[in-house]
Structure 1
Amino acid sequence: MPCLLEMKNITKAFGVVKAVDNVSLSVDAGEVMSLCGENGSGKSTLMKVLCGIYPYGSYEGEIWFAGEKLQASHIRDTERKGIAIIHQELALVKHLTVLENIFLGAELSQYGVLDYDSMTLRCQKLLAQVSLNISPDTRVGSLGLGQQQLVEIAKALNKQVRLLILDEPTASLTEQETAVLLEIIRDLQAHGIACIYISHKLNEVKAISNTVCVIRDGQPIGTRDAALMREEDIITMMVGRELTALYPNEPHQTGEEILRVEHLTAWHPVNRHIKRVNDISFSLHKGEILGIAGLVGAGRTEAVQCLFGVWPGKSEGRIFIDNQPVAIGNCQQAIAHGIAMVPEDRKKDGIVPVMAVGQNITLAALNQFSGALSHLDDAAEQNCVLQSIARLKVKTSSPELAIGRLSGGNQQKAILARCLLLNPRILILDEPTRGIDIGAKYEIYKLINQLVQQGIAVIVISSELPEVLGLSDRVLVMHEGRIKADLINHNLTQEQVMEAALRSEKHVEKQPV
């Protein structure tokens, strides 16, 4: 296949800081190149240069596409050339239909009147091409994340895409949805469409890629044949050192029971005939890591939202802390009882994007810095912020920088720092490493182990079974709102967990210690 894209010696600086420093790469027609690197390594900046979000003249170096020099001043310039990018945060308009989204800004018309017949026919062909069996008139907001991702690809195909850039496309997808997406990419590849694939899921990188390009701290580390690389090789190139064990297995003692939940039930906020959590009971001990596994929609997040007092629907059940019944109706009451939580959706529920990193860290603990007259002690707050940033290794140019400008991994570390300021006895982590890089994951795993060594009890929810099994002392397996198994993690396998989740029997399996 001929060379489709060539980026030569690209350098992009923000002030004195070089986000991308002399990076070169090339992609052939029909090639899938995975672009790997830790959060903040420069991947997104490089792609924004390629797409014209950072226009020609704002960076050094040259871009050649399909044999022509590319000097884009706007993203529309690159879209006209056949370059399309699908960001991790999807850019669909939820209240519009699938058809309206696909043709947004590219409507077909005859004599000044929208040609809905032609657009409908074209839309049906595009949806068939991405294996999406829905009506063009379907509202995008009613679709699942996996289906929305496919609508984005159909939208890109409508622009006669020749190079498709996918940024963390499977971060919020199920395994089945991921398999469908990877198969579509293979089909596009067979039709000569090139793809730059950005993902922290190295099993996907290995499965889909022809080549792997790694950048670290804005600088090129190397491009290799994917078939000749192990996942461990990619990790070493990304972080600059070998990680002998991704999941630290440090000894810690499990103490007495700290939390007990009895007959917890939660109803759907709108349809109160549907139980999202259905009569579950479990316990948690000091210094224990309790993993909660299950397929998407199993009720895991809903259960811990009830514990933290933020479930928007009706719920009932009994919660005991230190064997004493407690009432938790909101997050303030949960915090007062020593519970802190890192939410599943950090963009929506975890951060205030326009506020500074430091302000986000101290947001829930401002009472610690207020005096008798309720005036904030700015010096004490600033000192605490600096200590938290150092402890969690949050990479930021300044505590005053808006947290929305940080990478996902550093945003997650800042949320963790906020939780730790509350001195929790029980820490709930819902998808703690979603969309963050291997290096940041490793640091979060080490922190979890340090916390349980101090006697803090941790609940971990993750859609990645290897993560649940790599961290947990015990695993609750949920399916359709119920706990199907409560398993001691003595060499548990993914197959055992999935078998427990999908087992038809109603009883709860308890594995002996």
Structure 2
Amino acid sequence: MPCQDGPVDEASALVEIAGATVRFGSFTALDGVDFRMFPGEVHSLMGENGAGKSTLIKALTGALRLDEGTVVIDGAARHFSGPRDAQEAGVSTVYQEVDLLENLSVAENIFLGREPRRFGVIDHRAMRRDAAAVLEGLGLSLDPASPLGRHPLAVQQLVAIARAISTDVKVLVLDEPTSSLDLDEVAELFRVIRDLKERGVAILFVSHFLDQVYEMSDRITVLRDGSLVGEYLTTELLRIDLVKKMLGRDVAEIAPREHVVEPEMPADPILSARGLTRAPGITNADVDIAEGEVLGVAGLLGSGRTELARVLTGVDRAHSGIIRIEGKPARLDSPRHAVNLGVVYSSENRRTEGLIGDLSVEENIALALQAQQGALHPISGARRRELALSWIEALGIKPADPDRLVRTLSGGNQQKVMLARLLALSPRVIVLDEPTRGIDVGAKVEIQRLVGELADNGLSVVFISAELEEVLRVGDRVAILREGEVAETVNAASLNPDTLMALVAQPDLPEA
């Protein structure tokens, strides 16, 4: 293959894409990219947001057509007119957001649109039997008649995989499959992936978690700015070299922030909470945050991280407990109350609780400020444009086009737009729930740098992340959440990822 950089394998490829070129007007999203996958391998596609990964995946899965280039699956040239064509060729996809119907049963979701029929009507008995066989083949003990919505997200993810492989699958695309899973659930997913490898399925594993990429992948292809950088065996590519190839430049390890507070409780916290309880999720939680501090929050999935964020910002109302701001009791009965007191919230789910994709960057940035002022006091067009341009420049939002629809931006730049909207309110405390989820290494470094700069300028930040290294890199202190309670708060300088994991995973012992 041309443009090859790194080891090659002479075995017969299951997928061969040659010279893939995709243009959107004058913009070239893919520029002559070559890509291949082999039977029984896990292949990771890496690159910054905007590198062309999504475009290449869409070409492979039939979601868009190439302007130039060829796609060959199992030796046959393919010209997909849509995802159904790709599925018929053996290419199935499981997306980050599980696209199943929670009100239907597990079996109905697996065979949705392909239900077995008898005498013209759906044969539910046969469907449940066939679904049970698919689930058993994945080593899953699951009642096919049970409603999907009763199962946790991790199980729903596995049901989506079961749906994908219930056809004659040759290539399985997994798009950020672990973004919402805890450690045990990730381990179960990886067991399923390894089983599929043994069956000869080629798996495209898309993830921003480098640890998982190196644990699961046999081969890595790197894209940058729509072009192929190279294809490498995972065992022969150091992580630092992978990051350099993705970014196209040397990037020094981002240093932890200089710690601005002592490990004990701040003398004069800007926000203090005592005995916060909201069932389910939060039990008698105590929190203190100083001015200009980044308080990291770490805990296992289900420990109450998001629930705590929502109670601290008025999204959910605490059933008991008290919150004080600068020593004065504060009622945070709604996000509006919290905003009026200078406390704002960035949800972990940008798509459904954050940005409005079909509005422009300018409109999204001005949205919260306009809501605060009310419909009777509209922000002038000139003021709105000035506001947008100033935050685009301050946060380095790319492209620097205030009229660009937010849904067309990369994940990292969408997160910057969300930050701009909140910072336009001039808050005193900002609660960030998973602000770097689903964005690439370079964008993560930028967001982490921005958080540090905000704190250096006096803003208090609550920073919640499932990535423990990130919590330590950004935070001054770390609040350890276990079973809905802040078990302890520790100076970040005294921890490393291993010791923090030990604290997070430590079971709560009953009092003597």
Fold conserved (TM > 0.5)?
A: yes
TM-score (norm 1): 0.92
Contact map agreement 2:298 2:465 (CA 8 A) in 1: yes
How do 1:45-444 and structure 2 match up within 5 A? Answer: 45-55=55-65, 58-250=66-258, 252=260, 256-268=268-280, 276-311=281-316, 315-366=319-370, 374-396=377-399, 398-444=401-447
Residues 311-344 of structure 1 show CA distances to partners (whole Å, capped at 9, x for unaligned) of 1x65221111111111111111111111111112
Q: 2:497 aligns with which of 494, 498, 512?
A: 494
* Secondary structure of residue in 2 paired with 1:257: coil
Question: How far apart, CA to CA, are the structure 2 residues paired with 1:434 and 1:80?
Answer: 33
Letter of the aligned partner of 2:285 in structure 1? I
Cα distance between partner residues in 2 of 1:416 and 1:199: 23
Q: C-alpha offsets along residues 195-245 of structure 1, whole Å, 9 cap, x if unaligned?
A: 111111111111111111011111111111110112211111111112211
Three-state SS of the structure 1 residue aligned to 2:29 is strand
- Residue 203 of structure 1 contacts residue 231 of structure 1 at CA under 8 Å; is this kept in 2? no
Letter in 2 for 1:196: L
The residue number in structure 2 matching 1:33 is 43
Which letter maps to 1:20?
L
Fraction of identical pairs, as percent: 37
In 2, the alpha carbon distance for the partners of 1:259 and 1:375 equals: 31
Aligned pair in 2 of structure 1 residues 196, 247: CA closer, same or farther (>3 Å)? farther
d(CA) in 1 for partners of 2:248, 2:372:
39
Q: Does structure 1 retain, via aligned residues, the 8 Å contact 2:370–2:378?
A: no
Residue in structure 2 matched with residue 2 of structure 1 by the alignment:
12
| SS at 2:14 equivalent | strand
CA contact (8 A) 2:356 2:364 kept: yes
Q: How many residues align?
A: 496
How far the C-alpha of 1:109 sits from its partner, in A, is 2.1
Displacement after TM superposition at 1:443 (Å): 0.2
CA 462–319 in structure 1, closer or farther in 2 if over 3 Å, else same = same
Query: C-alpha separation between the residues in 2 aligned to 1:93 and 1:369?
Result: 39
Provide the rounded CA distance (Å) in 2 between the counterparts of 1:175 and 1:492.
20
- Deviation, 1:6, is 0.4
Structure 2 residue 18 is the aligned partner of structure 1 residue 15: no
The AA in structure 2 aligned to 1:395 is K
- Measure the CA separation in 2 of the matches of 1:397 and 1:12: 22
**1:457 and 2:463 correspond:** no
Query: For the residues of structure 1 that align with 2:283 and 2:224, how far apart are their CA atoms?
Result: 46
Q: Deviations for 1:152-191, whole angstroms, at most 9, x for unmatched residues?
A: 1100111110000111111111111111112211111111
CA distance in 2, matches of 1:498, 1:356: 40
**C-alpha spacing 1:369/1:117, structure 2 compared with 1 (3 Å):** closer
CA contact (8 A) 1:252 1:453 kept: no
How far the C-alpha of 1:367 sits from its partner, in A, is 7.0
Report if aligned partners of 1:88, 1:168 keep a CA contact under 8 Å in 2.
yes
Report deviation, 1:393. Answer: 1.9
Please give the alpha-carbon distance, in whole angstroms, between the structure 1 residues aligned to 2:372 and 2:349. Answer: 27
Where 2:493 maps in the other structure, the secondary structure is: coil
Relative to 1, partners in 2 of residues 1:31 and 1:503: Cα closer, same or farther, differing over 3 Å?
A: closer
What is the TM-score when the length of structure 2 is the normalising length? 0.92
CA distance in structure 2 between the aligned counterparts of 1:240 and 1:132, rounded to whole angstroms: 42
- Give the match's secondary structure for 1:505: coil
SS at match of 1:200: coil
- For residue 432 of structure 2, give the secondary structure of its aligned residue in structure 1: strand
Alignment of 1:466-505 (within 5 A): 466-501=469-504, 502-505=506-509
1:279-318 deviation per Cα after TM superposition (whole angstroms, max 9, x unaligned): 122211111111111111111211221111111x652211
- The one-letter code of the counterpart of 1:277 is I
In 2, are the aligned partners of 1:260 and 1:321 still within 8 Å (CA)?
A: yes
Which stretches in structure 1 are left out of the alignment for 5+ residues? 269-275, 508-513
Unpaired stretches in structure 2, ≥5 consecutive residues: 1-10
Supply the distance in 1 between the matched residues of 2:259 and 2:509 (Cα, whole angstroms).
35
Q: Distance in 1 between matches of 2:219 and 2:433?
A: 33
| SS, match of residue 320 in structure 1 | strand
The one-letter amino acid of 1:70's match is R
Given that 2:293 and 2:461 are in contact with CA atoms closer than 8 Å, whether structure 1 keeps it comes out as yes
For residues 203 and 374 of structure 1, the distance between their equivalents in structure 2, rounded to whole angstroms, comes to 50
- 1:391-438 Cα deviation digits (max 9, x unpaired): 222223732232122222221111011111111111111111111111
1:463 is displaced (CA, Å) by 1.2
Q: What do residues 17-59 of structure 1 show as CA deviations (whole Å, max 9, x unaligned)? A: 011111111111112110001112111111111111113xx52
Partners of 1:496 and 1:361 lie apart in 2 by 39
Contact 1:369 1:377 in 2 (8 A): no
Higher mean C-alpha displacement, 113-122 vs 362-371: 362-371
Q: Once structures 1 and 2 are overlaid, which stretch shifts more, 317-326 or 245-254? A: 245-254
